[in-house]
Amino acid sequence: MIDRFRVGVITSSHGIKGEAKVYPTSDDQNRLKKIKKVYANIKGVETALDIETVRFQKNMALVKFKQFNTPEEIQALRNTDLFVNRENATPLKKNENYIADLIGLNVVDEDGTLLGKVTDVFPTGANHVMEVDMGEKKVLFPYISQCILDVDLEEEKIKVHVLDGLLDL
């Protein structure tokens, strides 16, 4: 399991007071308003950044960090990922997992036959979809209770029910 989760990416500066435009990468866009500290790799050095204010403009968060006061300082951080520690991540509900913890897990069917490894999980509107690399092809499994039977992080595997026709695509 990873210790940090990406919550956003600095895309550019905003205004003259050193605000950063941040593209939120969390399921909950408003999550940035609840965070007081994020981490970034700045010129090869892991740096803690204190969040002063967060406001939104369209799909972007405008974030003011205590450490930066000019647009030039923020411009130098373009394309920098922002992370939070696991303990500051959004709390999980029962039977929920962080997407980052699912990537790389083995996927097995109900008989225990290895199907492949999880390479990605992404939203599609109604539900999330899990991409599984099966070697010769990649298959998308709907991340729904009828398909995902068990997630065992300790054994690093996900047991799935293969829906009729799913592997025929």
Q: Give the count of domains, the chain.
A: 2
Is 129 inside any structural domain? yes
Rounded to two decimals, what is the model's pTM? Answer: 0.74
Would you say 44 and 94 are in contact if contact means Cβ atoms under 8 Å apart?
Answer: no
| Residue among 3, 10, 87 at smallest CA distance from 51 | 10
Q: What pLDDT sits at residue 93?
A: 83
Select from 88, 111, 126 the last residue of a domain: 88
pLDDT of res. 169: 66
Residues in the chain: 169
pLDDT at position 50, please?
A: 97
pLDDT of residue 123: 82
Q: Are 101 and 151 in contact (CB under 8 A)?
A: no
Indicate which CATH number applies to the domain containing 107.
2.30.30.240
With vertex at residue 112, the alpha carbon angle to CA 111 and CA 116, rounded to the nearest 5 degrees, is 120
79 and 41 within one domain: yes
Q: Which of 55, 88, 121 is the last residue of a domain?
A: 88
The type of residue at 26 is S
One pLDDT digit (tens) per residue for the chain, 169 residues: 678 889 999 999 999 999 999 999 877 777 888 889 999 999 889 999 999 999 999 889 999 999 999 999 999 999 999 999 988 888 888 878 888 899 999 999 999 999 999 999 988 888 899 999 999 999 999 999 999 999 999 999 999 999 888 887 6
Sign of CA dihedral 89, 9, 47, 18: negative
- 20 is in which domain, residue-wise? 4-88
My answer on whether 117 and 71 are in the same domain is: no
Order across the sheet with 106-108: list the strands. 138-142, 128-133, 114-123, 106-108, 157-160, 148-152
Residue 168 within any structural domain of the chain:
no
* Residue 169 within any structural domain of the chain: no
pLDDT recorded at residue 167: 82
Output the pLDDT for position 1: 64
Residue 66 identity (one-letter amino acid): K
31 shares its domain with 10: yes
